[in-house]
């Protein structure tokens, strides 16, 4: 098995401090963009809060003087993150560019567009499908026990924003796997061979990413994770780095010598 090697001579000569400095520079750009998006979103935070209340279809209350203010800040941060997505994906691509072949570096624009699109699809799927279904089930379970719901806006927004963010991240899984295959770090054969371990890892990720500890919401998260892992295998198969002729020739030789 050949070790992964960066195709860029410049990248191979760069010391670890150089990589850390570049990472710091790109993180600073992301942070400034995020802050700008957050300030812009804060000006319309009341509209955003009204939009986020719709999946619940119930009145919301605040139970401390600062609760409503911090909800506006959280919603603004989430919206700022959403607005910053193209910049975030572009900075990620620029950071991994030294590990790509020259013809692969031209894929920056598709990476930014596809990454942003997948994140948006995750938000849409969660907002219109998963969140209403989960809220209806959970609230209905409580009312069947003879309980009357009184919803705190802070707790509700924490639940919904974490749910939205988790599904946005989950929808990026095929793109992440494809990029790793482009870098030569994984192959579709490796991913398919370790599918059963991926099921266990996906279950752990679903438990971590789900904003509540119940099995119901965990399964809602795990289903898309398993689906997107399979899509990632197909993405790695079609768009991953093809093995070199020398590497392909070495495998039969090593297999024959070990026979």
Question: pTM for the complete prediction?
Answer: 0.75
**Residue 121 pLDDT more than 60?**
yes
pLDDT for 221 equals 82
Q: Which residues of 163-199 are buried (b: 16+ CB within 10 A; e: fewer)?
A: bbbbbbebbbbbbbbbbbbbbbebbbeebeeeeeebe
* Average pLDDT for 178-196: 85
pLDDT for 53 equals 93
**Residue 76 pLDDT more than 80?**
yes
The percent of residues above 70 in pLDDT, for the chain, comes to 83
Q: What is the mean pLDDT of the chain?
A: 82
The percent of residues above 90 in pLDDT, for the chain, comes to 33
Phi, psi of 187 (to 5 degrees): -125, 155
Pairwise CA distance, residues 88 & 115, whole Å: 10
**Residue 118 pLDDT more than 80?**
yes
DSSP state string for 97-147: GGGS-GGGGGGHHHHHHHHHHHHHHHHHHIIIIIHHHHHHHHHHHHHHTT-
Which residue would you say has higher pLDDT here, 236 or 123? 123
- Written as six digits, the tokens of 134 are 């989960």
Q: How many residues does the chain have?
A: 259
- Written as six digits, the tokens of 109 are 């624009």
Q: For residue 61, what are the β-bridge partners?
A: 152
Q: pLDDT for 26-68, tens place per residue?
A: 899 999 999 999 999 999 999 999 999 999 988 999 999 999 9
């Amino acid at each position: 098995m050949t070790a992964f090697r960066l195709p860029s001579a410049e990248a191979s000569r760069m010391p670890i401090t150089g990589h850390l400095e570049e990472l710091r520079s790109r993180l600073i750009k992301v942070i400034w963009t995020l802050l700008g998006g957050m300030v812009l979103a804060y000006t319309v935070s009341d509209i955003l809060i009204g939009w986020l209340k719709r999946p619940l279809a119930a009145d919301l209350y605040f139970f401390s003087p600062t609760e409503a203010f911090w909800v506006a800040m959280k919603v603004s941060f989430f919206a700022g993150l959403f607005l910053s997505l193209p910049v975030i994906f572009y900075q990620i691509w620029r950071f991994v560019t030294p590990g790509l072949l020259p013809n692969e570096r031209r894929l920056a624009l598709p990476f930014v567009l596809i990454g942003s699109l997948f994140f948006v699809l995750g938000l849409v799927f969660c907002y219109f499908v998963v969140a209403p279904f989960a809220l209806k089930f959970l609230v209905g379970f409580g009312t069947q026990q003879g309980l009357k719901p009184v919803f705190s806006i802070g707790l509700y927004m924490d639940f919904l924003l974490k749910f939205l963010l988790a599904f946005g991240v989950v929808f990026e899984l095929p793109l992440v796997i494809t990029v790793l295959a482009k870098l030569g770090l994984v192959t579709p054969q490796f991913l398919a061979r370790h599918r059963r371990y991926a099921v266990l890892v996906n279950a752990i990720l679903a438990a971590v990413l789900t904003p509540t500890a119940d099995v119901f919401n965990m399964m809602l998260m795990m289903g898309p994770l398993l689906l997107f892992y399979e899509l990632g295998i197909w993405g790695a198969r079609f768009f991953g780095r093809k093995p070199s002729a020398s590497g392909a020739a070495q495998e039969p030789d090593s297999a024959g010598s070990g026979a």
